[in-house]
Each structure stands twice: as C-alpha cells, then as structure tokens.
Amino acid sequence: MSATEGTHVPQLSLPGQAATADGPTDLSVMYVLHHAFRRDLDRFVTAARSTPVDAAATWAALATRWRRFAAQLHHHHRVEDRTLWPPLLAAVDAAGAPGDRATLEAMQAEHEVIDPLLDGCARAFSAMVERPGAAARDALVERLAEARASLGRHLAHEETDALPLLQRHLSPDAWARSNRVAKRTLGPRELLFLVPWAADGLDRPTREHVLADAGWPFRVLYRSTRGRYTRREAEAFRYA
C-alpha cells in the first residue's frame, strides 16, 4: 500500500489546467501558482504585441514586472528541485517504478530548458527599454511566445503525469514540509508581491480557500497589498 492510499480531498480545477490529480494531499497552492504563471505569460505576450513602441514608461513597467514574474518562477522551480522531487524520487525508487523515476527526472530537465528562456526574455525586455523599435519588439514577442509554449508544455506534463505520482507516493506531511520551505525562503519583498499576484484572477471562493489554507498572515497581506498591486498591474499592462 502506498503512503497515500485510500483518502481523497477536493482539488482545484482552474482555467488552463491540464489535469487534476486526485488524492489525499490538497494541491491548491500548486494549481494556483500554475494558473498565475499561465495568466502572466498570456498577458505578457498580449502586452508586447499591443504596447506602442514609444510608450517608454509602459515598457519600463513591463520589464520590472517581468523580473518579478521570473523571480517567482525561479523560486518555484528551486523549491521543487530541492524539496519536492528528491523525496518523491526516493519513494518511487522504493516502490520499484523506473517509469515514474523517468517522469520526475524529466521535470528537472524541463526546468533547465525553461530557465534560459526566461533569461532571454529579460534581455529582450532590456533591449526594448534601452533601444526601442519594431525589430526589438518583434524579437521580444517571439521570445515570450517561445517561453509561454515551453512552460505550458511543462505545466501540462507536471499536472498530467508528475502530480498523480505525488498523490500516490508522497505523504501530506512531506508536501507540507515542502510548502514550509517555500515560505521560509521568500523574503518580505517577494511575499508582498506573491500574495496578491497569486490571488489575481481567482474567483472569490477559490481565493478564500487558498488564503484560509495559507493562514491569517497571508490574508492580512492580501488585504494590505492588493491595491498597490492592482495599480502597478494597470501601469504595466495598460495596453494588454
């Protein structure tokens, strides 16, 4: 019997989500972050296509906003690679499932593909800010579209194949430990952005569920940061 057999909790199903992994662990945080990554890349591609070349202040705001997005995604991947996939790999090895090991190794390999794409987008944003022009914008759109496609494939792969393994082989306590590490390794500035960013676009019941699960400090953070976050989003994505 696996460590997680016999119990199921309700799971979120959000726009763009490729699959839902049933099981004993509430994966709401994972699905909310995936929703935020997809949402952001859609917004960035639309904004890059529609923002006038000479809108210097907007391009600067978009470049800053990209750095915040990339920081969240880099942090998410680091936490998975250091605290989530290793114990899950140990569990599938103990279960004698080499195909499952291959799936988890693919997760880490895909991270190594995505991270350089993010860095390329950052450079393209810098070029658009420093030397604006149609050619720079076209290059940026191309890089953003490539990053969106690559991350979209990775998230779908994770939701379809890796998260069901987590439900079968990793205990809810092990999942909770990974989440605690994620929280501890975010600085105050990152948290002030993370909370309203992750909640952006969620319907009220979903938002309330996630904030309740995160704890009252996150609910307080959301209430105190959502106004500033909304204003900054309007500055960056005004043409999206």
At 25, list the tokens. 């662990």
- Cβ-based neighbours of 169, under 8 Å, separated by 6 or more: 2, 3, 4, 88, 91, 92, 95, 100
- Give the model confidence (pLDDT) of 25-44 as tens digits: 999 999 999 999 999 999 99
Q: What is the pLDDT of residue 4?
A: 47
Whole-prediction pTM: 0.94
Q: What is the pLDDT of residue 181?
A: 83
- Give the residue from 155, 224, 179, 1 showing the smallest Cα distance to 80: 179
Task: Please report whether residue 210 resides in a domain.
Answer: no
Task: Label residue 182 left, alpha or beta by phi (over 0 means left) and psi (-120 to 50 means alpha).
Answer: alpha
- Give the model confidence (pLDDT) of 146-186 as tens digits: 999 999 999 999 999 999 999 999 989 889 888 888 888 88
Task: Please report whether residue 22 resides in a domain.
Answer: no
CATH of the domain at 102: 1.20.120.520
Task: Please report whether residue 203 resides in a domain.
Answer: no
Write down how long the chain is. 240
Task: Please report whether residue 128 resides in a domain.
Answer: yes
In whole angstroms, give the CA distance from residue 46 to residue 50. 6
Band (pLDDT 50/70/90 cuts) for residue 6 is low
Task: Please report whether residue 133 resides in a domain.
Answer: yes
- Give the model confidence (pLDDT) of 97-151 as tens digits: 888 999 999 999 999 999 999 999 999 999 999 999 999 999 999 999 999 999 9
Task: Please report whether residue 67 resides in a domain.
Answer: yes
Q: For residue 167, what are the domain limits?
A: 28-186
